[in-house]
Chain A
Amino acid sequence: MMDFLTNDLLQLSDSAVRNATPLLLACIAGLYSERAGIFDIGLEGKMLVAAFAAGAFSAFAGTSVADGGWGMGGNAVWIGLGAAIIASTILAMIHAFASITLRGNQLISGVAINFFAAGITVLLGQYWFKMGGQTPQLREGQRFDSITLPFARELQDVPVLGQIYHDLISGHNILVYLGFLVVAITWWVLYRTRFGLRMRAVGENPSAVDTAGISVVRLRYSALVITGILCGLAGAYLSLGTAAAGFGKDMTAGRGFIALAALIFAKWKPVPALWATLLFGLLEAIGNRYQSVDLGFMVLPGQFMQALPYILTVVILAGFVGKAIPPKAGGEPYVKER
């Protein structure tokens, strides 16, 4: 029993944190967009494009000049991260143009972005690398390595607390810690700044914001820029911060949608978003670790375990865990009264 607690539970929690990070970043990305009144079904596509840009540009930058790369050595990973943020933000701005400026259908725009991402990543990947849509395996310096926090080694033999510190809290890459930081910053921005107040207002009652002489269009565009940046981080994590160490076709695997479900579960609030995504991360960890589960009277097959996060998403959306009320103006294009 002690063994289970110390090893299995710690390992599961550790993978839960790793799995939760891209969900968390995408979830907070969706929070900015939806709090400002813009539905964003396209989180998935933005993450996918970001993951691809990160994998591709980190590979370019990290390859030596002699081999046709840019020879940037250990800085390559930052080039990858930058490319991810730019790629994702471009898509976010297309979504903004379609839904804010042209007042088009936000769901349709998001769906289009997802398909575009699924296609363009493989097309460009095949054209650039000829590896069936994958990007080359990233080496050290081209990806984010885990960080050992101070004293983690010294404390690892201290029972329970030391173990938790060493195994669970220490030893992640920088994006994991950034994810937690983003939650704190978002809380502060949302509830303690003027921008946050206005953003929340624009998602509930844009005409009131407009009457106060504040530009609805500018606020919504700003919110979507943040969405783009955060989706960029989420995508970059998948190709630069996981064992995949490179981009693989359709590697987001529905995470953008799960992040949306987590956002609803969290009732569009940053701190609950952290718990919601950790829960999904834990489910994914369980599904990966236990290929099939024997319940005594029946055996749950591996496919069921893999589908667990999707099933939970449906259960959450069904509101069996409390009613969620979305921002009132969500999905409605704002038309200035004349």
Chain B
Amino acid sequence: MNKNLPKWVDLGVIPLLTLALAFGVSGLVVLSIGQNPIEVVQVMLQGAFNPFGIGHTLYFTTNFIFTGLGVAVAFHARLFNIGGEGQAGIAGVGVAMVMLSFNWPHWTIALLAGTMAALVFGAAWAAIPAYLQAKRGSHIVITTIMFNLIATAVVGYLLVGPMQAEGSLPESPRFPAGAALPSLHDILAVFGMEFDKFAPANISFFLALIAAFLVWVLIWKTRLGYEMRAFGHSERAAVYAGISPLKITMVAMLLSGALSGMMAVNTVQGEAERLVLGAVEGAGFIGIAVALMGRSHPVGVVLAAFLFGILTQGGAELQFTLGVPAQMITVIQALIIMFTGSLENMVRIPLEKFFISAGKKGAAT
């Protein structure tokens, strides 16, 4: 938080300005590959919000809320967890293993079991990098990236070996019917609302919103959250205050991994109903952009996740209609990370100067 700037500038104007810059440069990239930016925006919005698209948009939003919260929680303890991709991948393995072990009588039990599996496996995959960071000072950015690559190898091995279904495709058997989660269509039908029957969005969307609320409670309303933030602000001061770096690093990273892992409930259990290769599809990385844009605040994360949901679904439409590769979204994501995360001072420094001089004038009169 900055003393030179009013709160509304710090939390409103700066994020919007940096976002505008990121979109501006994205527009230049669109021009450079011979497309018309206005047409691209139209196609994307249309693709994201039409009756068929919105169910996908919310499905992707769910993933990004989870991974974004994961990165955000770690950020509060000043830990940069780039491992969401691997943590979600391994959580998918956990969800699939649990789902395939029983003949689930009812989806509520299956959802509970799936959630537990996703939390535990996601956290477990974050545990080693967290421990190495806390105990041996191994750079968590590099170790989590390595764990992403190792996770890819593990999932690849399992899906052509021990967990492979009969046949030649690298995927697990289909989960029993009792494991299927209610889709948004089913839920809204209870209230007499229409929703696309084939949309992948499911009950996990509400889990994601609950998770966002719980993260808010944890970070701002509990002692543990306070310790995490204190540790994030100044490790030395935190240690002086009796806060254990090992504990905070482990807790923050396990929570971060568990939250990222939760997206497996949405994708593996809710949508595919089996484990497939590459189920995470970069959502773990998008979580970084989401957390940065959302200022690591749960409300910001939910809003940023929705934006990225629109971008992802709109990007799929873009590929379908105009033949623009899906990597367009990767570029936009990179530019948003760049402008909101690292080039922020480009906007902040001039604004600060403006407000300081305005403040002086105000004091003089």
Contacts and interface: CB of A to CB of B under 8 A. Distances in A.
Interface of A: 41, 94, 97-99, 102-109, 111-116, 118-120, 122-124, 126-127, 133, 254, 257, 260-261, 264, 301, 303-304, 306-307, 310-311, 313-314, 317-319
B153 A317 contact: no
Interface in B183-214: none
Interface string B155-177: 01100010000000000000000
B136 A319 contact: yes
Interface in B104-146: 128-129, 132, 136-139, 141-143, 145-146
B145 A112 contact: no
Nearest to B337: A112
A259 B82 CA distance: 18
A261 B156 CA distance: 24
A118 B330 contact: yes
A24 B335 CA distance: 29
Nearest to B336: A112
Interface residues of B, number: 49
Contacts of A106: 342
Nearest to A125: B325
A313 B146 contact: yes
Contacts of B142: 41, 257, 260-261, 313, 317
B143 to A, nearest CB: 6
A318 B138 contact: yes
A105 B252 CA distance: 20
B337 A119 contact: no
B330 A307 contact: no
A310 to B, nearest CB: 5
A303 B285 contact: no
B344 A104 contact: yes
Interface of B: 29, 32-34, 80, 82, 128-129, 132, 136-139, 141-143, 145-147, 149-150, 153-154, 156-157, 161, 285, 288, 292, 324-325, 327-335, 337-338, 341-346, 349
A314 B143 contact: yes
A128 to B, nearest CB: 9
Contacts of A254: 145-146, 149
Given A104-B341, A119-B328, A314-B132, A112 B141 contact: no
B29 A120 contact: yes
Contacts of B32: 124, 127
A96 B172 CA distance: 46
A332 B2 CA distance: 19
Contact of A98 (B138, B146, B328, B342): B342
B146 A112 contact: no
Contacts of B334: 112-116, 118-119
A155 B79 CA distance: 56
Given A303-B156, A310-B153, A317-B146, 13 more contacts: A104-B342, A108-B341, A108-B342, A111-B341, A112-B342, A115-B333, A115-B334, A122-B330, A123-B331, A261-B142, A314-B128, A314-B129, A318-B132
Contacts of B141: 41, 107, 111
A301 B161 contact: yes
B197 to A, nearest CB: 33
A307 B153 contact: yes
A328 to B, nearest CB: 14
Contacts of A301: 157, 161
9 contacts: A98-B342, A103-B345, A105-B341, A115-B331, A116-B330, A116-B335, A119-B328, A122-B330, A318-B136
B132 A317 contact: yes
Given A317-B132, A318-B136, A119 B157 contact: no
Contact of B341 (A109, A257, A307): A109
A115 B285 contact: yes
Nearest to B155: A303
Nearest to B133: A317
Nearest to A117: B334
Contacts of B346: 102
A217 to B, nearest CB: 15
Contact of A123 (B29, B154, B343): B29
A70 B342 CA distance: 39
B338 A98 contact: yes
Given A112-B335, A318-B136, A122 B325 contact: yes
A311 B161 CA distance: 21
Contacts of A319: 136-138
Nearest to B25: A116
A87 to B, nearest CB: 14
B19 to A, nearest CB: 14
